Structure 1
Amino acid sequence: MEEKLFRNEKIEFTDGLNRTFEKLPEDALFVVDRKLLQVTEGLMTFLEGKKMYLFDASEKNKNLSELEKIYDFLLENHVSQTLIAIGGGITGDLAGYAAATFKRGIPFVMVPTTLLSMCDSSVGGKCGVNFRGIKNYIGAFRKPDRIIICLEFLKTLEERELRSGLGEILKYGLIGNRLILDDLLSSDKDLFHLPMKEYILSGLLIKSEVVQADYSDQGIRNILNFGHNVGHAIESVLEGAVTHGEAVALGILAEIDLSTMKLGLNPETGIKAMKIMDKYGLRRKISADKEKLMEAIRKDKKNDENMRFTLLSELEKPEIKVMVQEAEILEALTVILE
C-alpha cells in the first residue's frame, strides 16, 4: 500500500525477511554487508549457492579500491543479472555506483537494512565513493530499480545505529515535518520502541517529493543538505569515530546556530533539537581541531567560489545556497566543540 505514496520512487515495504527474500530474483548477484551474516537469521541460508561479494562496510572502505573489487566480481559473474545491495547506506552507495558505471549501467535493487538507509540514503539515486578523505567526492545519480524495505532488519541494529538514523529523522522534522519533533519530544518510548515506520515514511515522503522536483540537485533538493556541510566535515576529520547520523545531528546544531545568525531563526529551534538529542543519547559535543574542520568544509562539493549552506529561516522553511563567511562558520562550530 505504501508503494502508492511515492510517485517517483519504486519503494515497497515487506512483512518479514522471508517475504523480502521471495521478492528477489534467484539469479541475482549480491553485494552484502558482511556483518549482517552474523546478526540476521536466515540470510546465510538464503544466500547459500548464490554469487555474492561480501563487503566490510565502513567509510574507510567506501573507496575506489573497494569499488574495483566489485568491478572484478561483476566482470567475473555478470551476464544480464540484477545487482542487489543488502546493507546500509555505505553498502548502497558503493554498490549503486558500481551498478551505475559497470557496462554503463546494470539493473540494481536496494534492500536497506539500517534506519538511516531506510529513511534517507536508499532513495534519491545519489551514489558514489569517498576520495582523498573527502566524503562522496566521486559519484553519480542512479536510482535503484526497486527499494525493498523490511523493518525486521531494524531488530539487528545496535542502539548506536538507531541513534544514527535518528540524526536524519531529526533533519526531516526540522526541514519539512515538525510533527516528528513534537512526537519525539512527547513520546514516553525508548529508542527501541519508537514508531520507526511512521518516521521512515515521513522522511521518504519529503525526500521523494523533493527529488522528483530536482533530481540533479541543482535547486530545491539542496534542502536535504541541512546539517551536512558541517556533518561531512566531522566525518572526514574524525575518520570513522562518529557515524554519519551522529555527524549530521552535530552538523544540524552548528547550522541551526548559523541560521540564527544569518536568517534570524528563533533560538528555540536549537533548544528543541538539543532536547531531542539529549533524550535519545545523541552526542552534542566532539573533540576536533577547528581549523581542520574548516579546511574540510572549504572542500565540500556543494560550494562554488563561495561557501554555500542550506539554513533555516523558520521551522519547515529551509533556504538553499546561503553564502556564509568563514568567521561565521568558526563561531558556529564552537557550539559543538568541547
Structure 2
Amino acid sequence: MGAFKQPSLVICDPDTLKTLPAHILSDGIAEAIKYGMIRDPGLFALLDAHNSDNVLPQADEIIARCVTIKRDIVAKDEFDTGERMLLNFGHTLGHAIERHSEFAYTHGQAVAAGMCMLSARTAAPAVTARLIGCVSNYGLPTDYDAPMQELTALCGHDKKRMGSELSYVVCPAIGQGEIRKASFPDFCRMMEESL
C-alpha cells in the first residue's frame, strides 16, 4: 500500500554533485535531458551545449528547471492518472532494459537508451539526432543490443499497461512530450519494426 504525502521542504544542494563519480552524475543528467525533451527546449539546449566535463557550473539552473517542471506536472496530477505520465519518457523501454541487462545498466543509462530508441521510431530524424547527440555528450548509451522482441515482452509488465493497452510518451519536438496509448500488440509491432 502506498501513500501520497506532500513534502514540507525540498533541499537541493548542487555542491554534493562534485562528490559523485562521473557515471553517477551522468545518470542524473539523463533525467534532466528527459525534462528538456518533454517540456523545456531551453533546458535541452543548455544540456546539449555542455558535456560531462563542463556541466557542473550549470547545476543550479538545471536543477531549478527540472524541479519546476516536475512540481508543475505533479501539482496537476498528484495521483499519476494523466499528465504525470509525461515523466515516464524513456522509462517504458528503460525499465525493460534494466531488467534485461539484469541491472548491469543503471537507471539513467537505461532511460537514456530508452528515450533514444523510442524517438528513433516516433520522432523526426532531426529530433532523434539532437537527442542522441546530447545523450552522447554525457557518455550515456543511445541503444541497447538485444532483440527488440525480448524487450517488448518485458514492457508488458510496465505499470503504464492497463489491460491490453499501454501508455507511452513520445516527443515529436524537443520540449513537446505527448502521452500516447496503443494496444500492447500494436506497441510491440511499432517497436519491433526494423529502422
**TM beyond 0.5:** yes
CA distance in 2, matches of 1:188, 1:276: 8
Check the 8 A contact 2:148/2:191 in 1, yes or no. Answer: no
Instruction: Evaluate the alpha carbon distance shift between residue 189 and residue 283 of structure 1 in structure 2; reply closer, same or farther with a 3 A threshold.
Output: closer
CA distance in 1, matches of 2:188, 2:50: 38
Check the 8 A contact 1:309/1:320 in 2, yes or no. Answer: yes
Letter in 1 for 2:83: I
CA distance in 1, matches of 2:72, 2:7: 16
Within the alignment, does 1:271 sit opposite 2:129 as a pair? yes
Equivalent residue in structure 2 for 1:288, among 137, 143, 146: 146
CA distance in 2, matches of 1:269, 1:192: 22
Within the alignment, does 1:313 sit opposite 2:172 as a pair? yes
Instruction: Evaluate the alpha carbon distance shift between residue 316 and residue 285 of structure 1 in structure 2; reply closer, same or farther with a 3 A threshold.
Output: closer
Per the alignment, residue 235 of structure 1 pairs with 98
Letter in 1 for 2:178: E
Within the alignment, does 1:171 sit opposite 2:29 as a pair? no
Letter in 2 for 1:199: I
Per the alignment, residue 325 of structure 1 pairs with 187
Q: Which has the higher contact order (CA 8 A, sep 6+)?
A: 2
- SS of the counterpart of 1:149? coil
**Deviation for aligned residue 1:143:** 3.7
Render the CA deviation track for 1:125-160: whole Å, top value 9, x for unaligned.
xxxxxxxxxxxxxx5434444322222321221000
Per the alignment, residue 184 of structure 1 pairs with 47
Q: How does 1:217-228 map to 2 (within 5 A)?
A: 217-228=80-91
Indicate the structure with greater helix content: 2
Instruction: Evaluate the alpha carbon distance shift between residue 155 and residue 221 of structure 1 in structure 2; reply closer, same or farther with a 3 A threshold.
Output: same
Within the alignment, does 1:298 sit opposite 2:156 as a pair? yes
Letter in 1 for 2:128: G
Percent identical among aligned pairs is 30
**Deviation for aligned residue 1:204:** 0.7
For structure 1, which runs of at least 5 residues remain unmatched after alignment? 1-100, 102-138, 261-265
Letter in 2 for 1:282: L
Equivalent residue in structure 1 for 2:60, among 194, 197, 203: 197
Check the 8 A contact 1:311/1:322 in 2, yes or no. Answer: no
Within the alignment, does 1:213 sit opposite 2:76 as a pair? yes
Equivalent residue in structure 2 for 1:161, among 17, 20, 24: 24
Render the CA deviation track for 1:22-43: whole Å, top value 9, x for unaligned.
xxxxxxxxxxxxxxxxxxxxxx
CA distance in 1, matches of 2:93, 2:15: 32
CA distance in 2, matches of 1:311, 1:156: 34
Q: How does 1:1-338 map to 2 (within 5 A)?
A: 139-187=2-50, 190-191=53-54, 193-260=56-123, 266-304=124-162, 305-323=164-182, 324-331=186-193
- SS of the counterpart of 1:195? helix
- What TM-score, normalized by structure 1, do the two folds share? 0.52
More deviation, 203-212/181-190? 181-190
Larger Cα Rg: Structure 1 or Structure 2? 1
- What TM-score, normalized by structure 2, do the two folds share? 0.87
Q: How many residues align?
A: 191
- SS of the counterpart of 2:99? helix
Check the 8 A contact 2:90/2:114 in 1, yes or no. Answer: yes
**Deviation for aligned residue 1:223:** 1.0
**Deviation for aligned residue 1:314:** 2.5
